Structure 1
Amino acid sequence: MNKSWAIVNKILPFSCVDGPGNRLVIFLQGCNFKCLNCHNPYTISRCKECGECVATCPHQSLSFINNKVIWQSSTCQQCDTCINTCNYQSTPMTYRYSIEDILKLIRKYLPFLNGITLSGGEATLQLAFIEQLFSAIKQAQDLKHLSCFVDSNGYLPQLGWQKIVNVMDGAMIDLKAWDNQVYEALTSKGNLRVKKSIEYLAKMNKLYEVRFLIIPKHTDLQQNAEQLANFLKQFDANIKIRINAFHNHGVRGEAKTWQSASKQHIENFAMELKQFGLKNIVLPTVYLS
């Protein structure tokens, strides 16, 4: 029996926005970016087992045993006191799932599913689990019809993608800025690997979607629509583009003061991308600004 397991932040049994059709989405804990605008900063790090959050829990759902923080999910009220206490952008509220655990869960919801998506955090930090889970799905007679997708920041090197490309049906990649320095300012990492990932996945016919997040005065996507379009249409002018609008609800730190993107911001950017040759562009259905 396969003993591989993953640290999971949460699981959505049904989602229609994380790939094609109705999907079971697994959010893995841990990320190699530190985006200033992150809406889920508690998914960035794994628990440091410092124990600082234990005494703050108003429901006594945390304990510290053998230098480990133990979370009792049955009494937890999801008040997020522990998350707000943590100094390491983490949470004690995570689960350990084996391959067999996930397969059992998939089969529970199987009649309603078109596929599985692994997200995060950054899913590819637990690459071995992705490879083994997708392989198990493809080898199971009752599950092999399900499509297997990864939602990623694209920072995985090509050698990493090569480990899963044959068991993965598609990937959604975030391209957060065009200029490398702007990218570093927003995420703490450069974008060379991200562009390489987009190029490789497109050539392998595994690039399902490229996502842009518009943050007025902070992203440079709006000023580089022509370069973005030329970069992407060399692979496929019909490549799916999803434009998301930044909103400052729920973010922390300096991003709390940033301007939210309006419908006009998004539509202007989409119009420019179309003008420069991109055709398949999906816009937000809801704006929170």
Structure 2
Amino acid sequence: MNKSWAIVNKLLPFSCVDGPGNRFVIFLQGCNFKCLNCHNPYTISLCTECGNCVKSCPHKALSFINYKVIWQTSVCQQCDTCINTCVHHSTPMTYKYSVDDLLITIRKYLPFLNGITLSGGEATMQLPFVEKLFSTIKQTNDLKHLTCFIDSNGYLAKTGWQKVENIMDGAMIDLKAWDNDVHKSLTGRDNLRVKETIKYLAKINKLYEVRFLIIPEHTDLQDNAENIAKFLIDLNPNIRIRINAFHNHGVRGIAKKWSSANKKQIEIFAEQLKQNGLKHFTLPTVYL
């Protein structure tokens, strides 16, 4: 991947849930997990240029030229027919941004921003670009006050985090299951590296938040609150915890039939963590 540009799924100019303050969020395309409950499965893979989505577009916003799928944004109606057609967990509706392109866009909203967050997909899949963007921000006078955060599944190896730790202000890490086998069944990957990431980032004071998603009858987090609390308290007793509630709106496949988490289930898990010594929680404000 050329470090000077990135494949971007979406830009969100303002967010108050992706790190501290008001943040400009960049959603990068591509992920190394295949979560059964993913609400954005079209962000998992890069486009294979197979062209199967072209004929499906009812607005003729897609064309196939020189074995490449071309997306005409001016014609597109955002109906998502192409996304629903794609069998590769991808989308033709992505953007190619250079670092300079993004800085121009960021400056449009600069007076209102506290920082930048890279999300996905999985942002660390395009790590060379992350390095380039963050280092440029830190070296640019009118931007260097912005904090640089990564929202990640935590699967990046320690050597990868070491490449960005000096230009990154913090990371939010998802721990999707406590047991390795449960984690693998949900995501396709084990969680050993995720736990190592949490430990390492806590050690270097770059772990901003650990996030949990409660999926009734499918995650094992609720049954391992004591183990989770001990693991995190040994790293930092003041660690921030965000608990999210699964909902089945927008998911595909088997997870479409899974039950959504309710307020009581979330509060029970939070209380279990609290009884075992954790203090700082953010809970959902809306349940679907």
Alignment TM class, shorter chain as reference: over 0.9
Q: Secondary structure at the match of 1:54?
A: coil
Q: Secondary structure at the match of 2:228?
A: helix
Are 1:74 and 2:74 an aligned pair?
yes
Determine the C-alpha separation between the residues in 2 that align with 1:268 and 1:237.
20
Partner of 2:219: 219
Partner of 1:174: 174
Query: Aligned-residue CA RMSD in angstroms?
Result: 0.8
Determine the C-alpha separation between the residues in 1 that align with 2:25 and 2:103.
13
Report how far residue 3 of structure 1 moved: 7.0
Are 1:206 and 2:206 an aligned pair?
yes
Partner of 2:119: 119
Are 1:128 and 2:139 an aligned pair?
no
1:61-102: CA deviation from partner (whole Å, max 9, x where unpaired):
000001000000111000000001101010000000000001
Partner of 1:287: 287
What TM-score does the superposition give when structure 2 sets the normalisation length?
0.99
Partner of 2:259: 259
- Provide structure 1 residue ranges, at least 5 long, that are not aligned to the other structure: none
Q: Secondary structure at the match of 1:148?
A: strand
Are 1:278 and 2:274 an aligned pair?
no
Partner of 2:98: 98
Partner of 2:10: 10
Determine the C-alpha separation between the residues in 2 that align with 1:63 and 1:125.
28
Runs of 4+ in 1 over 4 A off after TM superposition: none
Report how far residue 235 of structure 1 moved: 1.2
Identity of aligned residues (%): 75
- Provide structure 2 residue ranges, at least 5 long, that are not aligned to the other structure: none
Determine the C-alpha separation between the residues in 2 that align with 1:202 and 1:22.
23
Partner of 1:159: 159
Equivalent position amino acid for 1:127 in 2: L
Equivalent position amino acid for 2:240 in 1: K
The more displaced of 101-110 and 166-175 is 101-110
Equivalent position amino acid for 2:12 in 1: L
Number of aligned residue pairs: 287
Report how far residue 108 of structure 1 moved: 1.0
Change (3 A) 1:84 1:126: same
Partner of 2:36: 36
Report how far residue 216 of structure 1 moved: 0.5
Q: Secondary structure at the match of 1:217?
A: coil
Partner of 1:192: 192
What TM-score does the superposition give when structure 1 sets the normalisation length?
0.98
Determine the C-alpha separation between the residues in 2 that align with 1:118 and 1:68.
27
